[in-house]
Structure 1
Amino acid sequence: MMNDDTAQQPTRILLIRHGQSVANAGGTPPDHITNPLTELGHAQAKAFADGFSCEPTVFLISPYTRAQQTSVPLRQRYPEVPIEEWPIYEFNYLEPGRLKNTSEEQQMPHILKFWKQDDPAHSDGPGAESFSVFLGRVRDVIKRLTQLKSDGCIVVFTHGFFMQAVRILLLFPTATDQQLISNFRRFHFVHFIENLEAVELEAVNGQLRMVGQQHLTTFTLQGESSHA
């Protein structure tokens, strides 16, 4: 995958949200990690792989079941491509015990309470990430991505909130964690990422930038007149 001859050429990176999961469909998975794909989710992953047109050079995959399963059809199409598991799993903002065998509808009081607190340092309990810890994880991944080089494309199987965090951090690189948490959920719904939707990035000269995401520039942080 790595080639010094391409050092000055942009590296294409595709962030892919997993297919429809049991939780996405309103079901009750055992927990947020082992939340498998539905039949539709598997079909979405197969259709995505069948229509994939870029030559992958590495697969970066979340450790969570739904992302792993989503990657399988494309990995089967390109069995020689190396696989790396990265910490690109979903934002775990609720204490895991609250999530066991519950649907999103049942979790909604806890979800709304978390976001209403509007506190980037708040942790919901053991095993839960604060928003600032989550952003730190995403920032670390962004730094790692900027160092990658590829003649084809790097395919990243990940999750909706993780992808949104990448986008909002690239849009507003000087924003505080407080500004970001105050605007994150609104950004998420305004620019919602569907199952198997791709966000394209380029890494060039140690910088990561979005490709074809001009519509996002209309979003402004509350209290700011324009994006950074």
Structure 2
Amino acid sequence: MKTITFVRHGQSTANAGGLTMAHDAIPLTALGHRQAQALATALQVTPARILVSGYSRTHDTARPLCHKFSMVPQVEPLLNEFSTIDPALMQGMDGQQRAPMADAYWQAADPLQRMGKVAETYVEFDQRVCAFMHKLDGLPDQTVVFGHGMWLGMLVWKLLGFRSADSLAMRAFRGFQLGLPMPNCVVYQLQEAAPGVWRAQVDEGLLRVLREVSE
């Protein structure tokens, strides 16, 4: 039975409410680096392959595990986080100031809305996650994937069988995503129950380790 391990990146400056930056350049905080090191120590996986998104915070989170096994990560742009709003529209804002814009976007629930030149639509995000899911069968057993919270939420949503990308589905996904436990460096393991059939399970042991690091 094949297992693919998904890891959300460590705490970033955006997660900590910092000023807006380009999506791909947001760095980890000092806590995020500690979380990444703790993950590399505690994760009971010998990776066959390590994948990261195009964003620096996944590279930094993967680095301790890559160092442990002398591996070079492979960049997979399909793993990039959902770019809901162009950073240019939020220049100079901190997390508290950004929140009303994000809330308005999700309340509008227009799956074709593009909030700026470098943003993507909900439909495009949905299609991108689906495109990666088509690659799951081709990944080797014990692949470790470093990605993002909303992206991982969409993956779990899709594994549950939700396929629509209309306004109603968009609102429903947002509610699901906000309620799904997704702390920084959380680990979800996908196991292949049958050819093309996957189930997800959180690693509760690693959650306890991460809570200790964050205290």
With the length of structure 2 as denominator, give the TM-score of the two structures: 0.87
Q: 1:171 aligns with which of 160, 173, 178?
A: 160
Residue 193 of structure 1 deviates from its aligned partner by 0.4
- CA gap 1:76/1:134 in 2 versus in 1, 3 angstroms: same
Task: Give the counterpart letter for 1:52 in structure 2.
Answer: L
Partner residue of 1:143? 134
Paired residue type of 2:201:
G
Q: Tell me if structure 1 keeps the 8 A contact 2:52–2:147.
A: yes
CA 39–93 in structure 1, closer or farther in 2 if over 3 Å, else same:
same
| Contact 1:202/1:209, CA 8 A, preserved across alignment | yes
By how many angstroms is 1:176 displaced?
A: 4.2
Aligned partner letter, 1:129: E
Tell me the amino acid that sits aligned with residue 148 of structure 2.
Answer: H
Cα RMSD of the aligned pairs, angstroms, is: 1.7
**How does 1:74-153 map onto structure 2 within 5 Å?**
74-79=65-70, 81-87=71-77, 88-150=79-141, 153=142
Q: Does 1:37 align with 2:28?
A: yes
Q: Decide whether the 8 Å contact of 1:31 with 1:99 is kept in 2.
A: no
Deviates more, 1:102-111 or 1:130-139: 102-111
Contact 1:146-1:208 within 8 A present in 2 as well: no
Uncovered stretches (5+) of structure 2, i.e. residues with no partner: 203-215
Is 1:24 matched with 2:15? yes
Which has a greater percent of helix?
A: 2
Q: Deviations over 1:133-158 (max 9, x none)?
A: 000000000101122232xx110000
Specify whether residues 173 and 112 from structure 1 end up closer, same or farther in structure 2 by C-alpha distance, changes over 3 A only.
closer
Deviates more, 1:159-168 or 1:95-104: 95-104
- C-alpha spacing 1:145/1:160, structure 2 compared with 1 (3 Å): same
2:200 and 2:155 mapped to 1: Cα distance?
13
Query: SS where residue 59 of structure 1 aligns?
Result: strand
Which whole-Å CA distance do the structure 1 matches of 2:154 and 2:18 have between them? 25
Structure 1 equivalent of residue 2 of structure 2: 11
How do 1:49-68 and structure 2 match up within 5 A? Answer: 49-68=40-59
CA contact 2:48–2:140 (8 Å) conserved in 1:
no
Percent identity between the aligned chains?
A: 30
Quick one: which amino acid aligns to residue 27 of structure 2? P
| 8 Å CA contact 1:142, 1:208 repeated in 2 | no
* Maintained 8 Å contact 2:111/2:165: no
Cα deviation for residue 41 of structure 1 reads: 0.5
Q: Matches of 2:89 and 2:117 in 1, distance apart?
A: 11
Q: Does 1:198 align with 2:157?
A: no
1:208, CA displacement in angstroms?
4.3
**Residues matched between the structures, number:** 201
The alpha-carbon distance between structure 1 residues 27 and 176, as it changes in their structure 2 partners (threshold 3 A), is closer
TM-score normalized with structure 1 length = 0.82
Q: Confirm or deny that 1:186 pairs with 2:175.
A: yes
